[in-house]
């Protein structure tokens, strides 16, 4: 869903495979992701100037909206499939979340870009081997491990929940984390310095 390389390919190649629906849906996913980045970035510049955790709040709100739409469209049973509209809200949420860490007006850590995380980790390992500090790669290592842990937890949750129930779990987890980071004054002071773009 949020693999933008694959969605870009589908948006083009769908027409060559006589599957315009695939191409159009992939294009909408791309637009939703970029829309999340743009809206979160605009809000960061104009509304969240003194609070760097706005993207996590926008992410949580988008996941709550996705869950509500999914329940309205598909019901609350584990067998229900997620419709396309909630997928767009989830994709928007992930785009917004990717603006969480900003340095000098640019995203410093793209949270859903696993390939980039591994590249940065590999470059950090090289710098460490060449005499640099271990911190050049350990942050990216822990980010990558968090992807694996998140996928594992999601796998266990999927054994008992699916569809709108899975979205509800994601919305609750995201809302809890967003609330914690938004209101914790020590995290706000720590992150506001180097990650702020003002």
Q: Is the per-residue pLDDT at 166 higher than 90?
A: no
- Are 174 and 58 within 8 A, CB to CB? no
% of the chain residues with pLDDT over 70: 90
Q: What is the pLDDT of residues 15-47, one digit of tens each?
A: 888 888 889 999 999 999 999 999 999 998 888
* Residue in this structure with the two tokens 């980010």, named with its chain if needed: 143
% of the chain residues with pLDDT over 90: 42
Q: What residues are paired with 103 via a beta bridge?
A: 106
Q: What is the pLDDT of residues 48-106, one digit of tens each?
A: 877 777 888 999 999 999 999 999 998 887 777 788 999 999 999 999 998 888 777 77
Q: Is the per-residue pLDDT at 160 higher than 90?
A: no
- List C-alpha distances in Å: 44 to 55, 72, 100: 8, 31, 9
CA distance 175 to 171: 6
Residue 198: the pLDDT is 41
Provide the residue ranges of all domains of the chain, joining segments of one domain with +.
4-195
Q: Is the per-residue pLDDT at 194 higher than 50?
A: no
Instruction: For residue 40, count other CB atoms closer than 10 A to its CB.
Output: 27
Residue 183: the pLDDT is 78
Residue 116: the pLDDT is 83
- Are 96 and 39 within 8 A, CB to CB? yes
Where residue 195 falls among pLDDT bands split at 50, 70, 90? very low
CA distance 103 to 45: 13
Mean pLDDT is lowest, of 130-134, 139-143, 176-180, for: 176-180
CA distance 184 to 182: 6
């Amino acid at each position: 869903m949020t693999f933008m390389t694959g969605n870009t390919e589908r948006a083009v190649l769908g027409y060559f495979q006589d599957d315009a629906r695939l191409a159009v849906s992939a294009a909408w996913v791309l637009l939703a992701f970029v829309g999340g980045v743009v809206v979160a970035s605009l809000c960061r510049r104009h509304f969240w100037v003194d609070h760097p955790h706005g993207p996590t709040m926008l992410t949580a709100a988008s996941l709550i909206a996705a869950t509500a739409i999914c329940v309205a469209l598909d019901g609350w049973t584990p067998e229900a499939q997620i419709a396309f509209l909630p997928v767009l809200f989830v994709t928007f949420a992930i785009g917004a979340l990717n603006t969480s860490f900003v340095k000098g007006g640019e995203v410093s850590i793209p949270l859903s870009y696993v390939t980039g995380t591994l590249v940065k980790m590999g470059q950090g390992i090289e710098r460490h081997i060449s005499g640099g500090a271990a911190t050049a790669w350990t942050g990216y290592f822990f980010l990558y491990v968090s992807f694996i842990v998140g996928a594992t937890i999601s796998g266990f949750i999927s054994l008992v929940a699916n569809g709108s129930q899975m979205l509800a779990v994601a919305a609750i987890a995201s809302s809890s984390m967003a609330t914690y980071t938004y209101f914790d004054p020590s995290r706000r002071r720590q992150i506001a310095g180097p990650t702020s773009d003002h």
